[in-house]
């Protein structure tokens, strides 16, 4: 470009032909033409028709070109929340125990009852009553057979606790426990009385009471049923009677009155689990180091609960 063009003085046009390459590079608009720049003196070329819209025929409405619309996709099915899934799983009923095979219940009943007689916890004529107690097992005969196959000590201990024994909740009243103790002592023409019950420490649930059996008296401090029955056993020792504790694998307690306990046999826990110093032959407590028995759920000395 010349200097005169820069200063605004337009020079006379030179007759020449703009090559196509020159035309493509000229992108500026002229101040004298309302169009793309073309050198004066040359006819304007017809613009391309890519922008021109065809007019509709007379009497026909103008058609609008619409882009094809995509079909809306169905929204994905909402996944249930984890809590809902867990709730539905919890609603499903637990699988029922497989029905016992023909004659299997009778075989297990005879085997378990014979073992109880050998341990000195019952007598032979009670087999029919024991069979009825098995039938009343939570879940029925099938549940008893299922548990007896895998853990006979649990199945038999639970039946024994609900049959000849009695259960005591973790929190109890003294009068309530005497109602379970005295009917069993009455078979030996004995009766236990208590007086002067006082609280020593309510936060620790520690109480004190005077126990009276015939001409014997003993002051017992206790915080649970285990402590109380231990004091009762000290009074009954001269009569060769004892309330032995049965394992419950729960927070409650269970006891059974036994005459002249056969500790040499009762220390074997494979049929009945009894918790006493004489049956603590299964190891040591991880908390206090005291001896504990096999299948025990807690320690008799420190109360530590086993996993």
Please tell me whether residues 155 and 252 are part of one structural domain.
Answer: no
What pLDDT shows up at residue 99?
Answer: 80
Looking at 131, 163, 195, which one is the last position of a domain?
Answer: 163
What pLDDT shows up at residue 81?
Answer: 53
What pLDDT shows up at residue 120?
Answer: 97
Please tell me whether residues 159 and 271 are part of one structural domain.
Answer: no
Low-confidence ranges of the chain (pLDDT < 50): 1-12, 15-37, 50-52, 82, 87
Distance CA 203, CA 297 (A): 24
With respect to residue 197, please indicate whether it lies within any of the assigned structural domains: yes
What pLDDT shows up at residue 56?
Answer: 55
Domain limits at 205?
Answer: 166-292
Please tell me whether residues 287 and 174 are part of one structural domain.
Answer: yes
Please tell me whether residues 173 and 284 are part of one structural domain.
Answer: yes
What pLDDT shows up at residue 3?
Answer: 44
Please tell me whether residues 109 and 225 are part of one structural domain.
Answer: no
Say if residue 60 is exposed, middle or buried (CB neighbours under 10 Å; 0-12, 13-18, 19+).
Answer: exposed
What pLDDT shows up at residue 236?
Answer: 97
What pLDDT shows up at residue 175?
Answer: 96
Please tell me whether residues 259 and 287 are part of one structural domain.
Answer: yes
With respect to residue 7, please indicate whether it lies within any of the assigned structural domains: no
Please tell me whether residues 205 and 226 are part of one structural domain.
Answer: yes
Domain count, the chain: 2
Q: What is the largest CA-CA distance in the chain?
A: 149
Please tell me whether residues 175 and 156 are part of one structural domain.
Answer: no
Please tell me whether residues 226 and 247 are part of one structural domain.
Answer: yes
Q: Which residues pair with 168 in a beta bridge?
A: 253
Looking at 112, 136, 163, which one is the last position of a domain?
Answer: 163
């Amino acid at each position: 470009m010349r200097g005169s063009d820069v200063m605004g003085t337009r020079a006379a046009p030179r007759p020449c032909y703009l090559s196509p390459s020159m035309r493509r590079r000229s992108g500026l608009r002229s101040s004298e033409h309302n169009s793309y720049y073309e050198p004066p003196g040359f006819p304007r070329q017809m613009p391309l028709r890519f922008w021109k819209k065809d007019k509709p025929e007379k009497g026909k409405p103008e058609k609008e070109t619409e882009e094809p619309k995509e079909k809306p996709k169905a929204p994905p099915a909402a996944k249930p929340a984890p809590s809902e899934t867990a709730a539905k799983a919890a609603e499903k009923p637990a699988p029922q125990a497989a029905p016992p095979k023909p004659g299997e219940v009778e075989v297990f009943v005879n085997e378990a009852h014979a073992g109880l007689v050998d341990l000195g916890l019952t007598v032979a004529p009670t087999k029919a009553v024991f069979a009825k107690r098995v039938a009343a097992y939570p879940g029925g005969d099938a549940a008893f057979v299922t548990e007896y196959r895998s853990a006979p000590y649990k199945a038999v201990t639970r039946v024994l606790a609900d049959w000849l024994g009695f259960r005591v909740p973790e929190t109890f009243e003294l009068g309530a426990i005497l109602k379970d103790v005295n009917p069993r002592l009455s078979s030996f023409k004995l009766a236990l009385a208590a007086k002067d019950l006082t609280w020593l420490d309510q936060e620790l649930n520690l109480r004190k009471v005077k126990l009276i059996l015939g001409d014997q008296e003993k002051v017992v401090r206790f915080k649970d049923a285990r402590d109380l029955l231990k004091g009762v056993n000290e009074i009954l020792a001269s009569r060769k009677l004892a309330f032995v504790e049965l394992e419950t694998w729960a927070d409650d307690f269970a006891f059974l009155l036994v005459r002249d306990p056969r500790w040499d046999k009762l220390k074997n826990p494979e049929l009945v689990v009894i918790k006493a110093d004489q049956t603590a032959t299964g190891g040591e407590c991880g908390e206090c180091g005291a001896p504990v028995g096999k299948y025990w759920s807690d320690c008799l000395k420190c109360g530590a609960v086993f996993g």
